[in-house]
Amino acid sequence: MISHRHVRNLIGLVLGALAGFSFTISVFPHVLGWRDGRQVHMVVHAVAGVWPWMTAAWAVGGLSVARVGAMVPGGVILAVVGAGSGLILAGVRIGLTPYPLLVGLLAGAAYGFVGGLILGRILAAPSGSKP
């Protein structure tokens, strides 16, 4: 448990940004390529232009998880961020067809929920500390 609030916020911001980068460049292209038969490198190339925006959105989500400091709310926060990221990546960069949108939504929500649970547990405020 990290007792200093500002350190928790910084760690949440950095880990959230890294999760967003990972989702955009690795997880989303591999899941879409695995399920849709697309070439992974083609999907990576298609989504590569929006990684700064997705990283920033996930960083704000990670900061929000650090501010909340609880497992389940953290999971829900990053699941919403992940679902939105997946929809944006699929809709803007791949196309507005139902299958990529569904894969993006589910992959982002699952990845975000698990990551939010982990971050929420790691960044929980110790008992007796200021929020």
Phi, psi dihedrals of residue 125, rounded to the nearest 5°: -70, 135
Q: What is the mean pLDDT of residues 89-95?
A: 89
Burial class (CB in 10 A: 0-12, 13-18, 19+), 96: exposed
**With 60 as the cut, is the pLDDT of residue 131 above it?**
no
Q: What is the mean pLDDT of residues 41-63?
A: 92
The model carries a pTM of 0.90
Q: 59-70, pLDDT tens digit by residue? A: 999 999 999 989
Q: 24-39, pLDDT tens digit by residue? A: 999 999 998 886 666 8
For 23-56, b/e burial (b = at least 16 CB within 10 A) is: bbbebbbebbbeeeeeeeeebbebbeebbeebbe
